[in-house]
Structure 1
Amino acid sequence: MSDVTILHNQSCSTSRAAMERIGEAEVSADVVDYLRHPLDAAQLEDLLDKLEDAPTHLVRRDTHFRELGLTDADVETREQVVAVLTQHPRLLQRPVVVRGDRAIIGRPKERVAAFLAE
């Protein structure tokens, strides 16, 4: 069994930096390419139960978010976050690192090292 799970996007520099921190910490990791293997509603609920950040922070507010016509009002509640991320997994904030019953969004980059050191 791995020490951590990382929801990873190889094309994201912050996500790649998190992978480097995991390697430096010599921690074994399950790497989930969430774009190829999107989380379903139950998995997202479980993740939100562990997440130390507010549920709304799990949603990226990028160009794609705006192209979809979404606003902050569309992702205010936990239920809205699950619905949006189920439909649009590309909007999942990255990276997300899960360790036991805790999870963090790995932004800023330094946050991952601190989380792994705990």
Structure 2
Amino acid sequence: MTVTVYGATCASSRRSKEWLTKNGINYIDRNIIKNPLTVDELQEILRMTVDGTDEIISTRSKTFKELDLDIESLPLQELLELIHQHPRLLRRPIIMDEKRLQVGYHEDDIRQFLPRTTRRNQILEYLGLTPNYLQPAKG
């Protein structure tokens, strides 16, 4: 699965990419300020959210405040066009693959992008067990 990091030059995006690299996860890096998301791409991201636009829009951003938006009154298509025109409205980074989505950098949550076997082996190691037949680890 291909992981994509939609971000910008910010600390959270940088930490996310560092974590993915450290854990051997290949990813595609996309700077959304230089290369804004299309309306179709935004719709794909929204399909994967739990809280819809509330999950991806940064209401504390300078752009949001300057535009003085009332998100609730905007039709979705207009809002998506606005985000396309003003990508700084998005929270960053947005990390996703075909099945998972994470908005922002959270060290515990980003582990979801590790392959299942890697997560399983890390848990077993933490418990002092080896992956081979759940035998106690040596040493």
Q: 1:101 aligns with which of 79, 84, 99?
A: 99
Matches within 5 A, 1:32-111: 32-61=30-59, 62-73=61-72, 78-79=76-77, 81-107=79-105, 109-111=106-108
TM-score by length of 2: 0.69
Unaligned ranges ≥5, structure 2? 117-139
More relative contact order in 1 or in 2 (CA 8 Å, sep 6+)?
Answer: 1
Q: Report the residue type matching 2:63 in the other structure.
A: H
Q: Which has the larger radius of gyration?
A: 2
Instruction: Name structure 1 gaps, 5 residues minimum.
Output: none
Contact in 1 for aligned 2:71/2:79 (Cα 8 Å): no
TM-score (norm 1): 0.80
| Corresponding residue number in structure 1 for 2:134 | none
Runs of 4+ in 1 over 4 A off after TM superposition: 77-81
Cα 1:116–1:53 shift into 2, 3 Å = farther
Per-residue deviation, residues 66-118 of structure 1 (Å, max 9, x unmatched): 1111245357x7546423312311111100111113211024x3245322235
CA spacing shift, 1:14–1:67, aligned 2, 3 Å: same
User: How many residues get paired?
Assistant: 114
Q: How does 1:18-37 map to 2 (within 5 A)?
A: 18-37=16-35
Percent identity, aligned pairs only? 23
Q: Secondary structure at the match of 1:114?
A: helix
CA-atom RMSD, angstroms? 2.3
Q: Quick one: distance in 2 between partners of 1:115 and 1:53?
A: 19
